[in-house]
Amino acid sequence: MALYRRFSRVYGSLHRHGRLAAAATLSDHSSACKAFPQHPSIPSFSNSLTPFDPTNSTYKHFICTRFYPENQTLVQLLHYSTLANPKKENDDKHSGKNNGLEVLSWIDLYLPKKIRPYAHLARLDKPIGTWLLAWPCMWSITMAAESGSLPDVKMMALFGCGALLLRGAGCTINDLLDRDIDTKVERTRLRPVASGALTPFQGLCFLGFQLLLGLGILLQLNNFSQILGASSLLLVFSYPLMKRFTFWPQAYLGLTFNWGALLGWAAIRASLDPAVVLPLYASGVFWTLVYDTIYAHQDKDDDLKVGVKSTALRFGDSTKEWLTGFGLACIGSLALSGLNAEIAGWPYYAFLAAASSHLAWQIRTVDLSCRADCNKKFVSNKWFGAIVYSGILFGRLFS
């Protein structure tokens, strides 16, 4: 068991960096295979493991991870096997499949066992959703600052915490309402509620806890912002149902995820300036249509089987043309918002040009038939948000 723990630590570290294969780190592959014990929790595995030859491309080296809902455990096993069909492996790589393996995250490695399902439910190991929710808030707060001044740091910290909590609450609502659908989709079948790691009642209690913390943040804002912020809950609770009724759930997500573009300005100015915040809000909606349509292409085959809708299915082979239109509308709306907010000077528009290049790169290079590439482009949108924020910040400082 000491050897088992040793390999778990070594390969757990590799998993945190997303590396499923690292045979070169073992100095004696054959002896490692012979010495590695069969874990008692996996009766389906055989002790007679084939010695591994790193120079032989017909062998595959990987870590097997299995989740057991009945006792809430993850079991990790070093395993070598032959590849019956190397071509199929290449096809799986192209489709983004991981040969059925689930990569361990920091949640599984460091958090107490009882807390792990709740952390997975809130997607704490996948911060991209928090970034996508937070950036429109930061854009708006910074745009609302006085010319030549830095944005309100305390307000940005409050909105950052609020984005983390609201994103977690949204994921919890989504998983509770979609638990029957999630079991039929490859990417979502191991989510805590769908897999049975948490009961719906436990998920509901966790949702109440997150909303209570969010309320504590909302109450620190002015009265106008409190009403505006509370009104967003209608969008948050109804979004997961949209995929059942319309091919445009990504547009509805845009209305939900970019509410911070309105709320950030209101938190600073205690009012709304439609000429500034409406184009800013619209730019966020168009941006969401770009990144979430790319994201939806990961599940289009499963969505067809299950019977749910998305813009990925609606646009089909014309997706890139639609995304180009949304990208142009996003950049145009950002330019209009900055103009109405009197952000003068070249920095803002120089950063907008950089943001345009980033969107163009995504749309031009994304392989919509490859799940891994769709996810890569989706995650890269945190940098688009950062580029736009930098433009607003420097534009406001030098205006």
Output 343-348 pairs: Cβ under 8 A, ≥24 positions apart.
343/143, 343/392, 343/395, 343/396, 343/399, 344/395, 344/398, 344/399, 345/395, 345/398, 345/399, 347/391, 347/394, 347/395, 347/398, 348/391, 348/392, 348/394, 348/395, 348/399
**Confidence class for position 31, pLDDT limits 50, 70, 90:** very low
* 79 vs 53: CA distance, rounded Å: 13
Which pLDDT score is estimated for 47? 38
Q: What is the tens place of the pLDDT at every residue in 305-358?
A: 888 999 999 999 999 999 999 999 999 999 999 999 999 778 999 999 999 999
Q: CB 233: neighbour CB atoms within 10 A? A: 16
Question: Taking all residues of the chain, what is their mean pLDDT, rounded to a whole number?
Answer: 81
Please name the residues in contact with 48: beta carbons below 8 A apart, sequence gap of 6 or more.
none
133 forms beta bridges with none
Lowest mean pLDDT among 47-51, 296-300, 342-346, 383-387: 47-51
Please name the residues in contact with 116: beta carbons below 8 A apart, sequence gap of 6 or more.
72, 107, 108
Which pLDDT score is estimated for 5? 44
Angle, vertex CA 131, rays to CA 275 and CA 316, nearest 5: 80
Residue 36 has pLDDT above 80, yes or no: no
Helical (H) or strand (E) element with 210: helix 200-218
Query: Which 3 state secondary structure label does DSSP give 221?
Result: coil
Q: What is the tens place of the pLDDT at every residue in 234-293?
A: 999 999 999 999 999 999 999 999 999 999 999 999 999 999 999 999 999 999 999 999
**Confidence class for position 188, pLDDT limits 50, 70, 90:** confident
Q: Which residue is associated with the tokens 């032989």?
A: 56
Q: Which of 110, 165, 156 is nearest to 392 (CA)?
A: 156
Which pLDDT score is estimated for 98? 47
- On whether the CB atoms of residues 63 and 15 are closer than 8 A, the answer is yes
Q: What is the tens place of the pLDDT at every residue in 218-247?
A: 999 999 999 999 999 999 999 999 999 999
pTM, two decimals, is 0.76
- pLDDT > 70: what percent of the chain? 74
Average pLDDT value for residue range 208-220: 96
Q: What is the tens place of the pLDDT at every residue in 64-102?
A: 444 444 444 444 444 333 333 434 344 444 444 444 445
HEC letters along 154-179: HHHHHHHHHHHHHHHHHHHHHHHHCH
- On whether the CB atoms of residues 263 and 251 are closer than 8 A, the answer is no
* 19 vs 98: CA distance, rounded Å: 11
Domains and CATH numbers, the chain: 112-398 (1.10.357.140)
Which pLDDT score is estimated for 346? 86
Backbone Cα Rg of the chain: 23
Please name the residues in contact with 291: beta carbons below 8 A apart, sequence gap of 6 or more.
132, 362, 377, 378, 381
Which pLDDT score is estimated for 344? 74
Judged by phi (left if over 0) then psi (alpha if -120 to 50, else beta), residue 102 lies in beta
Chain center to CA of 375:
9
Which pLDDT score is estimated for 62? 39
Q: What is the tens place of the pLDDT at every residue in 97-124?
A: 444 445 688 999 999 999 999 999 999 9
Output 70-74 pairs: Cβ under 8 A, ≥24 positions apart.
72/113, 72/114, 72/116, 72/117, 72/197, 73/41, 73/113, 74/104, 74/108
Q: Which of 31, 295, 37, 115 is nearest to 188 (CA)?
A: 295
